[in-house]
Chains A and B, each alone.
Chain A
Amino acid sequence: MQTPRATGGRAPDVFTPGGWVPMREYDESEEVDFVIVGTGAGGGTLACKLAEAGFSVVAMDAGPFWRPLEDFASDEAEQSKLFWTDDRLVDGENPLQLGSNNSGKSVGGSTVHFAMVSLRFRPEWFKSRSKLGYGFDWPLDWREMWSYYREVEEALAISGPVNYPWGPPRPRYPYRAHKLNAAALALAEGCEAMGIPWTETPIATLSAPRGRARPCVYRGFCVLGCSTNAKQSALVTWIPRAIAAGAEIRDLAMVGRVEVDGRDRATGVHYHRGGEWRFQRARNVVVAGYAIETPRLLLNSANSRFPEGLANRSGLVGKYLTVQSNQAVWGISGKEIRSYKSPPSLALTEHWNYQDEGKDFHGGYCYMSQGPEPQLWANTQLASRGLWGEALIAEMQNYNHQVGLKMVGEMLPQERNAVTLADETDQYGLPIPRVTYSWCDNDRAMIGHALDFMGQALRATDARDIWKQTDDTCHLNGGARMGDDPQTSVVDADCRSWDIPNLWICDGSVFPTVGGVNPSLTIQAMACRTGDRIAAMARRGEL
């Protein structure tokens, strides 16, 4: 899609094919209270919170404003339109694969194609340096974050188990768990054989009707965009709420530079929309472009007063990029699994997140059942096992019987893992990011542990021909981390940059550590907290 849809005082109605909802629009010369760069888990959520608190908000996204009911096809190649596939360079000892499961370019960000797994951090992870002896402490208290987790779980009507086996007691999930598919039952069988607990995954897709959204039909195309709106992405939850509260969403608007004046205050953003560069004035700028585009924008916005990039007096913008390990074991079941049915990760175990004994590494991991679509599965067979031609065709015959377990593991933050600027430029003429990544010994030890354990669990089912997928990663975090000390962090606990008081960063890039669970719930909880904090500061005149 090349032409912006959210114009002329209206925005697409995500719940009606061809429908529109009225949307307030702001003049570029008008100094809005907040311009937000990015509309995903961080920016979309914050746009809603700020608009509902009465601020004037313009939220921009480089991607299109979809209507899932009419724009999403059951076709993997077509749906790659949801991914951020602009040029990027990757290097380091373990270069990342970018462009599908770890990035999104849509209004709603990567929540439009996320796997909907909505897990809370283990409380100790907010103080992992003090309590567990590795990584860094967050400047946030887990109890406060847990109350914001609740707010997000209610906003997304998370479907989850009646009782959650790990961690402190939590309120009941708003909706009940979905029916498990055969892939999830294989996880359960493996866990029971290994003597560890398992549960239904708390997941952001509806198990009952809600408002104008229909319950899940188990189409199973979740990570390529939900065409029924059962998935509670930012696109169908926070964004409609934000628009109803008076926020303006500008789609296909790529922000290239944040302008800062001589008094070290941000004054607005330069953005590319409709074939030209434009400027929106703002009293506050929030950068929410995720762990690559956020550092890139800050670095690209360097000026004479901030020659190393905005908010970068600590020198840490782009540093400590931290992903999660996403290795898997796969096998062939005697039964038909048909794992493409239903959301891909309906069951999980967090055993190794909460169990500290018996580990030769720091941090934790969970693992989940899996349901790769056929094209992705063929790619995996090619990339991980080198299968091609006859061998690949033969292996694909097993597609309906393949079953797997995949980890989401906590990698440790390292300064050398970083986003920097390359000399090449992209279609907007902006320097593209260079993403450098290397695993450390701890990362390798955890991956080894997980692959062994998951392998034993899978062997305890009827799966045979078991093999290990050793190279995958997911979920980008860090790159503009939060902390208590301006020398060692980019933003404070309120996501406000230390160097420029009206510049905020609200996405996964502020994570000091990543934990062993998918980050989207934590990003949204943090955005809810930031929204409340900004409203409180505004009331006290502290903005």
Chain B
Amino acid sequence: MRGRNAAIAVSGLFAAAVLGGLAARSNRPAPIRQPPREQAARQLDLGAATLAGSVLFDSAVEHYRGSFEHRGMYVPLAVASATIAASLSGARQPNRMRTGVHVLAMLTGVAGLGFHIYDISKRPGGWSWQNLFYAAPVGAPGALSLAGLTGLAGQQLRTGQVRPDSQSGRALAALAAIGILGDVAEVWLLHFRGAFHNPAMVLPVTIPPVASLCLAGVAAGAGRPSLRTTRGWLWATAATGLAGVGFHAWGVHRMMGGWRNWSQNLLEGPPLPAPPSYTGLALAGLAATRLMEEAHE
């Protein structure tokens, strides 16, 4: 498949998933003032969809680069698309299919981790910097598992299977804290590979770790930092994820031929779809703080 056709195909898949998901939810009127539980659920939906969107485009680009050598390399594209649709549909009733999609996403992520670990270990040099830099990215599939978990949490919150209390808030904070930390590790590895040649490359390994620490404090029930502070760092993390797309677009411009040579440089340059995974995880963290707040009130 030529680069242009591939790009159109993946964008179409994404658009279909988003529109399909939204269409499923649009037949119910939105309440004037949403209860915090509903707000948290919406944030979780959006977080899961953002994470899944990041996985869809990132795995499409990277697996296209790997010529879809194994048929399994198509799986994350399909599962991530389904996760987007399931997350955005905003179900009020328990639904086996939606639950199934989110569980599938979790399992696919775990399977992906296994495949990527196998890919690294079979190469000459094994667990060397060379293979961590250039073989399949070791932690990336985890983002799909996190999307599934986040989507499931949103669904269960909305359907009442999970109570909007401080216990579930703390559990969600722990999940987001760990997710962000995993993302930080991946970003550090790849920005280290790029020798942090642009000072902005330091931002995504400094801001999100603080947010992760704040969430860990919340999860531990330490009472500090305050929810307000935590939310501040989470919004900063979400912004870092969005700004990252812009920085990576700049990075593509700095490759040989720049954007004129997009079909090569989207593959060889910094990955455009990767940074919003921070945004998705930050939304999950914000949902956690919302639940904690409601519990306090």
Q: Give A residues with C-beta under 8 Å from B.
A: 157, 161-163, 174-177, 179-180, 185, 188-189, 192, 200, 207-210, 214-215, 217, 228, 230
Taking a contact as CB atoms closer than 8 A, the residue among A157, A161, A192, A215 that contacts B129 in the complex is A161
Hey, which chain A residues are within 8 Å of B197, CB to CB?
A: 175, 208-210
- CB of B195 within 8 A of CB of A214, answer no
Q: How far is the CA of A531 from the CA of B192 in the complex (A)?
A: 33
Q: Smallest distance from the beta carbon of A214 to chain B beta carbons, Å?
A: 4
Q: How far is the CA of A21 from the CA of B251 in the complex (A)?
A: 26
Q: Smallest distance from the beta carbon of A213 to chain B beta carbons, Å?
A: 10
- CB of B256 within 8 A of CB of A217, answer yes
Of the listed residues B129, B130, B134, B251, the one surrounded by the most CB atoms of chain A closer than 10 A to its CB is: B130
Q: Which 7 pairs of residues, A with B, have the shortest CB-CB distance?
A: A209-B254, A214-B256, A179-B134, A208-B197, A188-B124, A208-B194, A175-B195
Hey, which chain B residues are within 8 Å of A179, CB to CB?
A: 130, 133-134
- With A176-B193, A185-B124 already in contact, 4 other A-B pairs whose C-beta atoms are closer than 8 Å: A176-B129, A177-B133, A189-B124, A215-B256
Q: Indicate the size class of the contact surface on chain B.
A: 10 to 19
Taking a contact as CB atoms closer than 8 A, the residue among A174, A180, A192, A208 that contacts B130 in the complex is A180
- CB of A176 within 8 A of CB of B256, answer no
Q: How far is the CA of A208 from the CA of B254 in the complex (A)?
A: 9
Query: Quick check: is B255 within 8 A (CB to CB) of the other chain?
Result: yes
Q: List 23 A-B contacts (CB under 8 A).
A: A157-B195, A161-B130, A174-B195, A175-B195, A176-B133, A176-B193, A177-B129, A179-B130, A179-B134, A188-B125, A200-B130, A207-B193, A208-B197, A209-B198, A209-B251, A209-B254, A209-B255, A210-B197, A214-B255, A215-B254, A215-B255, A217-B256, A217-B268
Q: How far is the CA of A79 from the CA of B133 in the complex (A)?
A: 34
Q: How far is the CA of A17 from the CA of B289 in the complex (A)?
A: 55
Q: Which of B239-275 contact A (CB under 8 A)?
A: 251, 254-256, 268
Q: How far is the CA of A378 from the CA of B112 in the complex (A)?
A: 45
Of the listed residues A192, A208, A228, the one surrounded by the most CB atoms of chain B closer than 10 A to its CB is: A208
Hey, which chain B residues are within 8 Å of A176, CB to CB?
A: 129, 133, 192-195
Q: Give B residues with C-beta under 8 Å from A.
A: 124-125, 129-130, 133-134, 192-195, 197-198, 251, 254-256, 268
Q: Smallest distance from the beta carbon of A193 to chain B beta carbons, Å?
A: 10
Taking a contact as CB atoms closer than 8 A, the residue among B124, B129, B251, B256 that contacts A162 in the complex is B129
Identify the closest chain A residue to B126 (Cβ): A192
Q: How far is the CA of A174 from the CA of B196 in the complex (A)?
A: 10
Q: How far is the CA of A183 from the CA of B198 in the complex (A)?
A: 31
Hey, which chain B residues are within 8 Å of A162, CB to CB?
A: 129
- CB of A208 within 8 A of CB of B256, answer no
Q: How far is the CA of A162 from the CA of B193 in the complex (A)?
A: 10
Q: Smallest distance from the beta carbon of A346 to chain B beta carbons, Å?
A: 10
Hey, which chain B residues are within 8 Å of A215, CB to CB?
A: 254-256
- CB of A207 within 8 A of CB of B124, answer no
Q: How far is the CA of A270 from the CA of B45 in the complex (A)?
A: 78
Q: How far is the CA of A170 from the CA of B123 in the complex (A)?
A: 27
Known: A179-B134, A215-B256, A217-B256. A207 touches B129 (CB 8 A): no
- CB of A214 within 8 A of CB of B254, answer yes
Q: Smallest distance from the beta carbon of B111 to chain A beta carbons, Å?
A: 25
Q: How far is the CA of A517 from the CA of B213 in the complex (A)?
A: 48
Taking a contact as CB atoms closer than 8 A, the residue among B195, B198, B251, B256 that contacts A207 in the complex is B195
Q: How far is the CA of A192 from the CA of B192 in the complex (A)?
A: 27
Hey, which chain A residues are within 8 Å of B256, CB to CB?
A: 214-215, 217, 228, 230
Hey, which chain A residues are within 8 Å of B198, CB to CB?
A: 209
Q: Smallest distance from the beta carbon of A184 to chain B beta carbons, Å?
A: 9
Q: How far is the CA of A214 from the CA of B133 in the complex (A)?
A: 19
Q: Smallest distance from the beta carbon of B214 to chain A beta carbons, Å?
A: 31
Hey, which chain B residues are within 8 Å of A175, CB to CB?
A: 195, 197
Identify the closest chain A residue to B196 (Cβ): A208
Identify the closest chain B residue to A159 (Cβ): B195
- CB of B254 within 8 A of CB of A192, answer no
- CB of B124 within 8 A of CB of A177, answer no
Hey, which chain A residues are within 8 Å of B193, CB to CB?
A: 176, 207
Hey, which chain A residues are within 8 Å of B125, CB to CB?
A: 188
Q: How far is the CA of A288 from the CA of B125 in the complex (A)?
A: 41
Identify the closest chain A residue to B135 (Cβ): A179
- CB of B133 within 8 A of CB of A192, answer no
Hey, which chain A residues are within 8 Å of B251, CB to CB?
A: 209
Q: Smallest distance from the beta carbon of B256 to chain A beta carbons, Å?
A: 4
Hey, which chain B residues are within 8 Å of A228, CB to CB?
A: 256
Q: Smallest distance from the beta carbon of A333 to chain B beta carbons, Å?
A: 14
Known: A189-B124, A210-B197. A177 touches B255 (CB 8 A): no
Q: How far is the CA of A175 from the CA of B192 in the complex (A)?
A: 9
Q: Smallest distance from the beta carbon of B291 to chain A beta carbons, Å?
A: 42
Q: How far is the CA of A72 from the CA of B195 in the complex (A)?
A: 29
Q: Smallest distance from the beta carbon of B238 to chain A beta carbons, Å?
A: 27
Q: How far is the CA of A350 from the CA of B90 in the complex (A)?
A: 61
